[in-house]
Structure 1
Amino acid sequence: MVPHLTTALNGPINELEQRILESMPAIERWFRLEWMEHTPPFYTSADLRNAGFKLAPVDTNLFPSTFNNLTPEMLPLAVQAAMAAIEKICPEAKNLLLIPEQRSNSFYLQNVAQLVQIFNQAGLNVRLGSMDPALTAPMPVALPDGSELTLEPLLRNRGRLGLKDFDPCTILLNNDLSGGVPRALQHLHEQYLLPPLHAGWGVRRKSRHFQSYEEVAKKFAKLLGMDPWLINPMHGQCGKVDFDTPSGLDCVKSNVDALLTKVRRKYKEYGINEKPFVVVKADNAAGQGILTVRDVKDLDDRERVMRGREGLVSEGQVPDELIIQEGVPTYERMNDAVAEPVVMMIDRYVVGGFYRVHADRGIDEGLCSPGSRYVPLAFAGSHTLPKPGSKPGASAPNRFYMYGVIGRLAMLAAAYELEATDPDAESYE
């Protein structure tokens, strides 16, 4: 059954849902035309926040690691999308080399096992290559359900990467390269590397993504005749910052002040009687830590800022580039715990999603932290398609269709972003 949400299916967001449902043919045609001009990322996940008065993505992941949250009912969609993605890239593909992160926790490994199953069923021989230089022989890894995965050492032969007796035409990274690009992945010839190296955090910036998303949101809002702010989290960015000097956060303070002013103006325009906030997070890292700020004076509290800095640390590194993003509260609940939807996509297709739930977090805090749990979006029967004739808020599939539309906007923004940062191509701008 569909998870019970106490606020998800009522409130002002119904107006946005109705507009999207009424515009469904135009929306799908618009996406179709966009995909004729832009190449979707191989796979994507988007974290959304439903504030009631707006719905927006707050993070877009190009190396999603939560495929284990897809229910069995969703797997046929994932397999079909995987087939479409592979056919576009390497139609004759036989072997797929999957390179996971060097994480040993069971939750992540179940994600890897799910990916192996999806691509096996899409008609590929899938084997796992480890970037751990200490691995010199195949190593079986047990999973909680009694099955196992086998990690194998990578073999580089001139311009190709593979395993012993395994020469793939396609290499799929499920590793966001936060620690840098290994030499083994550089200068590959006649092999498809997905996602490309410039999707990793050595190059990628969240601010660049949300700049692209703002462009996409404006186009989409024009199509629907609406204010793009209803689907777009405003943002600012700072170049190099230094937490250790009094003036090192001046850029952060000025951006926080300017962004809070813009958000207050919007809240007043829409009659929203709440105190706005912004979140400060690493611009150049996958870390989910955030510092919530409701007043620029909060940044004068040295102790509070230094505690926030600890939460922003990723891979042991203190971030020196920050993004300041409009905070989007979430008013969805599951059994009294705060919840947010996550949309999973392969190629240009939504293949499913889940709710990230955290009982100890507030509506203005990030939920991707220890203590969070994940509840798959399960549908009763085959009722996964929207019902245009029903009233807004009356149908969970309608709400999930809207989530899928916003998720696809984030995916399209990622396509813009990758084109703009591709070192081997001219910018689309």
Structure 2
Amino acid sequence: MVPHLTTALNGPILELERRFLNAAPEIERWLRGQWQEHTPPFYGSVDLRNAGFKLAPVDMNLFPGGFNNLNADFMPLCVQAAMTAIEKICPSAKSLLLIPENHTRNVFYLQNVAHLVNILRLTGLDVRLGSLLPEITEPTPVALPNGQSLLLEPLVRTRYRLGLKDFDPCAVLLNNDLSAGIPEILQNLNEQFVLPPLHAGWAVRRKSNHFAAYDEVADEFAKLVGIDPWQINPYFSVCSHVNFHERQGEECLAANVDAVLTLIREKYNEYGITETPYVVVKADAGTYGMGVMTAKSAEEVIGLNRKQRNKMSVIKEGLNVTQVIIQEGVHTFERVVKNDVAEVAEPVVYMIDRFVVGGFYRVHGGRGIDENLNAPGMHFEPLAFETSCCLPDCGQNPDAPPNRFYAYGVVARLAQLAASLELERTAPADE
């Protein structure tokens, strides 16, 4: 299921898209075979960057929090995909406990929760919300801007199960990325499915593990399609034992930045690319665009000022950054045109199970093509269907919207496949 979308596109015609279009039957057959061997995460979202000469994932979120940004036209796809995911786990499931983030004042996030609840209820599930917040000691309604409300309820733990008062669900779905750690109340739920698994949370998960798995997926896929794997895969390396406040690990950081930049320059020379190479340094665990900086030389990561060190030192939940991933920066040549103004954008593709169910553009009018767009001032533009067709159109140019978005969907599914490998390989021995 790959959406056919309408958002205005200003980008180069890609040889990469032509390859995807020509190889579509082989691609779909190969992916179908992969999903017979590996279980996809329950859901996920992928941040993509399209540089014209390269289309690559730069982040993979296993607890997506933007279902409210999807166009309403995506609801049937979401419901169908969720049905598939639930039938695979528990065919007779009647009830599900959804545990959200502790963002009770973040209206945008709560709208995401409401959309997710609607999707799951349309699959035939009784869905209720359990809160990890200690102050939620009784059912607590939370108002939404559209006049609706969500009901947060206190969790009730028995020996091996988790539920609410008079509510014993078949499964527990987390929309909480566990950045602050794995609460004891979620551990050892031996009689229930917990989705995604606890080791998918940022208390355990590392971006470098994901991109190591993606390396393998990209290499195999590139052989299938006949492309250079670099065209869909950013270089990366890792620095451990970093302490930005104490200036520890600067030498490791500078050496790795220089090494990755050297690899990028070689590829740029090979392909005659005139853009300036850069890297993105970011916390190896965490999200929300925190703990992120860009660099075009090793010198830029040495001797950071206090403001820069403070920015890089702490991520969500106030956790200190001790390990970073140095990732090849991928320029974005995508623009969303609105009111005759073209703003820099990057696509975010949403998946449930193995299906692409929609997406949107993250847009930032104050950022450049080589900057992080996940920052204050960003906004989202939903990607809308033009027709009910969900497949590439071989009769149009490779750069036509259905084919551009088919390419997005292919690369996003490669990232989802890498996430399945990542979770398999990082699962605790007792699972």
Report the alpha carbon displacement of residue 202 of structure 1 after superposing the two structures with TM. 1.3
Aligned-partner Cα distance in 2 for 1:257–1:356:
29
1:387 corresponds in structure 2 to 393
Name the CA shift for 1:425/1:331 in 2 (closer, same or farther; >3 Å): farther
Aligned-partner Cα distance in 2 for 1:309–1:36:
45
Report the alpha carbon displacement of residue 245 of structure 1 after superposing the two structures with TM. 4.1
1:144 corresponds in structure 2 to 145
1:252-282 Cα distance to aligned partner (Å, 9 max, x none) = 1110010000000000000001210001000
1:158 corresponds to 2:151 = no
- 1:20 alignment partner AA: F
* Runs of at least 5 residues in structure 1 that lack an aligned partner in the other structure: none
For 1:251, what is the secondary structure of its paired residue?
A: helix
For 1:414, what is the secondary structure of its paired residue?
A: helix
Aligned-partner Cα distance in 1 for 2:304–2:156:
49
Name the CA shift for 1:287/1:145 in 2 (closer, same or farther; >3 Å): closer
Report the alpha carbon displacement of residue 6 of structure 1 after superposing the two structures with TM. 2.4
- 2:65 alignment partner AA: S
Aligned-partner Cα distance in 2 for 1:334–1:324:
28
For 1:291, what is the secondary structure of its paired residue?
A: strand
Aligned-partner Cα distance in 1 for 2:10–2:40:
34
1:216-263 Cα distance to aligned partner (Å, 9 max, x none) = 000000101110000000100011112244553111111001000000
1:322 corresponds to 2:328 = no
**Within 5 A, what are the aligned runs for 1:238-257?**
238-246=239-247, 248-257=249-258
Name the CA shift for 1:308/1:76 in 2 (closer, same or farther; >3 Å): farther
| Contact preservation (8 Å) 1:259, 1:278 | yes
* Runs of at least 5 residues in structure 2 that lack an aligned partner in the other structure: none
For 1:168, what is the secondary structure of its paired residue?
A: coil
1:4 corresponds to 2:5 = no
Name the CA shift for 1:294/1:362 in 2 (closer, same or farther; >3 Å): same
Q: CA RMSD in A?
A: 1.4
1:63 corresponds in structure 2 to 63
Aligned-partner Cα distance in 2 for 1:242–1:133:
31
| Contact preservation (8 Å) 1:419, 1:425 | no
Name the CA shift for 1:260/1:136 in 2 (closer, same or farther; >3 Å): same
Following TM superposition, the consecutive aligned residue runs of length 4 or more in structure 1 with deviations greater than 4 angstroms are: none
2:417 corresponds in structure 1 to 412
Name the CA shift for 1:383/1:32 in 2 (closer, same or farther; >3 Å): closer
Name the CA shift for 1:202/1:310 in 2 (closer, same or farther; >3 Å): same
Aligned-partner Cα distance in 1 for 2:9–2:226:
29
| Contact preservation (8 Å) 2:354, 2:413 | yes
> How high is the TM-score relative to the length of structure 1?
0.95
- 2:83 alignment partner AA: M
**Within 5 A, what are the aligned runs for 1:281-292?**
281-289=282-290, 290-292=292-294
- 2:425 alignment partner AA: A
For 1:302, what is the secondary structure of its paired residue?
A: coil
**Within 5 A, what are the aligned runs for 1:127-142?**
127-142=128-143
**Within 5 A, what are the aligned runs for 1:246-395?**
246=247, 248-289=249-290, 290-303=292-305, 306-307=307-308, 309-311=310-312, 313-314=314-315, 315-335=317-337, 336-393=342-399, 395=400
- 2:299 alignment partner AA: K
Aligned-partner Cα distance in 1 for 2:334–2:34:
31
Name the CA shift for 1:2/1:421 in 2 (closer, same or farther; >3 Å): same
> How high is the TM-score relative to the length of structure 2?
0.95
| Contact preservation (8 Å) 1:276, 1:294 | yes
| Contact preservation (8 Å) 1:50, 1:330 | yes
1:283-327 Cα distance to aligned partner (Å, 9 max, x none) = 022241321110111123431x75154156212123110000000
Provide the aligned length of Structure 1 versus Structure 2. 420
1:46 corresponds in structure 2 to 46
Name the CA shift for 1:245/1:105 in 2 (closer, same or farther; >3 Å): closer
Name the CA shift for 1:312/1:372 in 2 (closer, same or farther; >3 Å): farther
| Contact preservation (8 Å) 1:216, 1:413 | yes
- 2:327 alignment partner AA: Q
Report the alpha carbon displacement of residue 5 of structure 1 after superposing the two structures with TM. 2.5
Report the alpha carbon displacement of residue 4 of structure 1 after superposing the two structures with TM. 1.3
Aligned-partner Cα distance in 2 for 1:371–1:275:
25
Report the alpha carbon displacement of residue 189 of structure 1 after superposing the two structures with TM. 2.1
Aligned-partner Cα distance in 2 for 1:407–1:319:
27
